[in-house]
Structure 1
Amino acid sequence: MNRKNFLSSMLTIGAAGPVLAASAPAKAKTGTPLNMPTYLRPGDTIGITCPAGNITAKEILPAVQQIEDWGFRIKVGDTVGKKDSIFGGTDAERAADLQQMINDPGIQAILCARGGYGAVHIIDQLDFSPLASHPKWIIGFSDITVILCHLHTNGNFASIHSKMCNSFPDDWSKAEPAQADSILSIRKALSGERMQYKALPNTRNRYGRAEGPLVGGNLKTIESLAGTRSDIDTAGKILFVEDTGEYLYSIDRMFWHLQRTGKLDRLAGLVVGGFKIKPDDPGEEFERTLYDIVTERVKAYNYPLCFDFPVGHQKENYALKYGISHLLDVREAEVTLTDSSVPAATTIPGA
C-alpha cells in the first residue's frame, strides 16, 4: 500500500484544580477526574499566542485564514510579532499574554503559534486555576510539551498535541496529503470527532492491546521536566514520544533516563513517533539504531510497542487528545490508536 495513503487513512467518527506556587516537584494526582474542555462549535473563539518562540503576524496568516474557514473566530495575542532574542517577547510579556487568554471567558481554545524554546521560562508564573471551572483546549507540541505535561500533572486537564501556526501551508493546493490531513485533524479533534489513526507495520513492533490516558510529547523536553512540578507520572498510561535534531547517543541516554526514573516500567503501552536523527560525527559512530535503543530499554516489560507512528516534527503529525483515554492495538498487519472517550457512531461522509 502507498505509504502516504496508508498514513493518511485517519478515520473520524461523529460525536457529540488550581495550580499551586512552584516550590517542590509535583506528583501526578492519580484519581483526579479528567478536566475536559467543551468541544468547539462554529462561532467559538481560538486565541493565538507565543509562549515560546517568536513568529510574525504575516507568518500566522495562513493559519488564521484556514481556522476562520472552519467557522471559528480568532483572537490574536499581543505576543504575535514581538521578539526578544529567540522568544515571542519577554518572559513577562509572554506570560501575561497567555494568562490573559486563560482568564478570558470568551476564548474557548488557545493555539500556541509555534514551539522553539521558552515555555519553561514562564510555566511557573502562570495561574491555571481558571481552567478548573472553565476548561479550554490548549494546543501545540514540541516545546509546548512543557505546558501539556504541566496541565496533565496539575489538575488532569485535557489538551491537544498537534501542529501549530507555523505548519499551515501558504498554498493548500501544493500541500502534501499527509500535511493537509494532519492540519485538518486539529479541527476534527477540537470539534469532538472520535479519532483513529493508523501506522504502518514494523517488524520491531511488539503486539498487543492497551488502554489508558495518552501522555507524552517531545522526548528531550520530557527528560528536562523530571523532578519539577511539570513532571508526568506514566503509570498505567500510553506514552508517546518524538524528537528532532538529536544524536543517537543522546536518544539512548534519554531512554535510559526514562527507565531509571521509572517511566517505562508501569506503562500500558509505548508509541514511538518520528525521530529526525542528527548524523554521527566522523569517528563517533554510535552503531545502534533507534529501534535497537528502544527495544533494549523495554525488553523487560511486556506492554505493546509500536514504531514510526505519525506524530512529531514531520508532515505526518496528527492531532492527539492529550490526557484522554485511548486504545492502542498493535498487530502484525497494522497499528491503530483510537480515542476511546467518544462513543463510536457513523462515519462522517467525506472524512
Structure 2
Amino acid sequence: MNRKNFLSSLLTIGAAGPVLAAAATPNAVPSVSRNTAASSAALPTPLIIPPYLRPGDVIGITCPAGDITAKEILPATQLIESWGFRIKVGETVGKKDGVFGGTDDERAADFQQMLNDPELSAILCARGGYGAVHIIDRLDFSPLANRPKWIIGFSDVTVLLCHLHTNGNWASIHSKMCNSFPDDWAKAEAIQVECILSIRRALSGERMEYKVPPNVRNRNGRAEAALIGGNLKTIESLAGTRSDIDTAGKILFVEDTGEYLYSIDRMFWHLQRTGKLDRLAGLVVGGFKVKPDDPGEEFGQTVTDIVTARVKGYGYPVCFDFPVGHQKDNYALKYGIPHLLDVQEGAVTLTDTSVPAAATPSL
C-alpha cells in the first residue's frame, strides 16, 4: 500500500464539526451494500482504510477512558514488540482520576498528541471502562488526513469507532485491549491466545474469516456490506449525537456486559424505534454477559428471545453467539470494512471481503 498517495485533502472532525473530503484515493473502497433489501444506504464518502502495519511501525498506547498502570500493560507491550512493532506509551498510562485514566484534559491531550504524531501507525486504547464520551468532541481528527492511523479497542472505545465511521468513513479495529492480555502466556487458554493473535492479523492486512457453529435460532441468508457496531449500551447512548451511526445497508454487530435482561430488551426496542433495525443488511449478535435478575423480578426471556422478537418483521440474516464481546473469545474485527455474512444451516462465516481470498489463510 502506497502511503504517499493515501489522502491529500483535509479532513476535520472535532469541536467545529465534521468537514469531509470526498476526493477518491487508491485506498478508498465504496461503502455499498450488495443486499438488495438495503442497497440504498451508502455513505457519501469513500471508505478510508489506513495503511496496514509492517515491521518497525509504531503503535501508541493511551487511556481515553479507564485507568491502567504501566505494569499492567507489560504483557501487551512485550507481545506486540515480539511481532516486530515498536511501542510508544502515552502520558495517561499510570494516571488515575477517579475511574478515569487521568483528567478529561489529560486524556484528551494524550489522545490528541497521538493523533498528531506522524511516527504512529496505530493507536491502541489500553482499556475500556468509561470516559471516551467526555473527550470525543474535544478531539481534532484532521491529522489523519496526512497520516492515517488505525484506532483499536472495544467496549467504551465504541464511541471512537462510531464517531470515526460516521464523520469520515474511516476504518478501525474492534478488538481486545491491553487489559485483556494474559500475564502468563503459558497458562492462557488457546482461544484467548488465538483472539489476541487476530489483532496482529488484522493490523497486518490479512484477510479475516471467522467460522461460527450454527445456532438453531439463527436466520439464514447472505449479505455483503460494511461491518459496524460494538457495545450496545454505548451505541444507544450515542443516539442523536454527531457520533451516532447510520445502520441502513450495513451489517450490525452488538455485544454487552453487566446488563439486566429487561435493560437489553429496552435497548433492542430502542434500536427498533430509532430505525436501526429497519434496513440492516444483516445482524450479528455477540456475547452478552447478563446480570442475574433480582429475586421475584425474573424477566422470563433470554437474549435470543429478545432479539428474535425485535427482528421478526425483517428478512435479513441473523447470527447468534458470534465470538465478539466482553469474553475470552473476542476476535478482532475490521470496523467499517465490507464483510460477507453467510448464515446457513451447517455453518456461519463472516469474511472480510476487502482483501483477496488468496492473500492469507482463514482461521
TM-score category (smaller protein): over 0.9
- Corresponding residue of 1:294: 307
Deviations 1:242-268 (A, max 9, x none): 000000000000000000000000000
SS across alignment from 1:58: coil
Letter in 1 for 2:260: Y
SS of corresponding position for 2:284: strand
Cα contact 1:242–1:312 (8 A) shared by 2: yes
Query: Which residue in 2 is equivalent to 1:39?
Result: 52
Q: Which residue of 2 aligns with 1:129?
A: 142
Q: Amino acid of the residue matched to residue 205 of structure 2? A: G
- Which of 162, 165, 169 in structure 2 is aligned with 1:149? 162
Q: 1:303 aligns with which of 316, 323, 327?
A: 316
Q: Report how far residue 346 of structure 1 moved.
A: 5.6
Note the C-alpha offset of 1:84: 0.3
- Distance (Å, rounded) in 2 between the aligned partners of 1:61 and 1:347: 29
In 1, Cα distance between the equivalents of 2:300 and 2:163?
35
Alignment of 1:7-18 (within 5 A): 17-18=11-12
Task: Please say if residues 161 and 321 of structure 1, whose CA atoms lie closer than 8 Å, have aligned partners that are also in contact.
Answer: yes
- Given the two structures, how large is their TM-score scaled by the length of structure 1? 0.92
Q: Taking structure 1 as reference, are residues 335 and 191 closer, same or farther at Cα in structure 2, changes over 3 Å only?
A: same
Do the aligned residues in 1 keep the contact of 2:151 with 2:172 (CA within 8 Å)? yes
Could you list the per-position Cα deviations for residues 97-151 of structure 1 after superposition, in whole angstroms to 9, with x for gaps in the alignment? 0000001010000000000000000000000111123211000000000000000
Q: Tell me, what secondary structure is at the counterpart of 1:181?
A: helix
Structure 1: gaps of 5 or more residues: 1-16
Question: Distance in 2 between the 1:261 and 1:134 partners?
Answer: 35
8 Å contact from structure 2 (residues 215, 319) kept in 1: yes
Which among 188, 199, 210 is matched to residue 175 of structure 1?
188
Q: Give the whole-Å Cα distance in 2 for the aligned partners of 1:121 and 1:21.
A: 12
Contact 2:152 2:175 in 1 (8 A): yes
User: CA contact under 8 A between 1:115 and 1:141: conserved in structure 2?
Assistant: yes
Secondary structure of the corresponding residue to residue 143 of structure 1: helix
Match of 2:114 in 1: 101
Q: Deviations over 1:184-229 (max 9, x none)?
A: 0000000000000111110000000001000000000000000001
Give the counterpart letter for 1:345 in structure 2. Answer: A
Say yes or no: does 1:19 pair with 2:6: no
| Equivalent in the alignment of 1:253 | 266
One-letter amino acid of the structure 2 residue matched with residue 155 of structure 1: G
**Residue in 1 aligned with 2:348?**
335
Match of 1:221?
234
Match of 1:272 in 2: 285
The code of the aligned residue for 1:128 comes to F
**Which amino acid counterpart does residue 19 of structure 1 have in structure 2?**
I
Give the structure-2-normalised TM-score. 0.89
- Residue 21 of structure 1 and its aligned partner are, at CA, apart by 2.5
For 1:311 and 1:200, locate their aligned partners in 2 and report how far apart those are by CA, in whole Å.
14
SS for the counterpart of 1:74 is strand
Structure 1 residue 23 displacement after superposition: 6.9
Q: d(CA) in 2 for partners of 1:346 and 1:104?
A: 31
Q: In the TM superposition, what is the alpha-carbon distance from 1:161 to its structure 2 partner?
A: 0.1
Amino acid at match of 1:332: E
2: CA distance, partners of 1:346 / 1:81: 39
Change (3 A) 1:245 1:22: farther
RCO comparison, higher one (Cα < 8 Å, 6+) = 1
**Identical-residue share of aligned pairs (%):** 80
Structure 2 residues not aligned, in runs of 5+: 1-10, 21-40
**RMSD after superposition:** 1.6
Alpha carbons of structure 1 residues 42 and 23: separation in structure 2 relative to 1, 3 Å: closer
Deviation at 1:31, TM superposition (A): 2.1
- Runs of 4+ in structure 1 off by over 2 angstroms are 20-24
After TM superposition, give the deviation of residue 30 of structure 1 in Å: 1.8
1:284 aligns with 2:297: yes
Count of residue correspondences: 332
Cα pair 2:14 2:141 within 8 Å, conserved:
no
Q: Secondary structure at the match of 1:59?
A: coil
Between the aligned partners of 2:178 and 2:16, the Cα distance in structure 1 is: 30
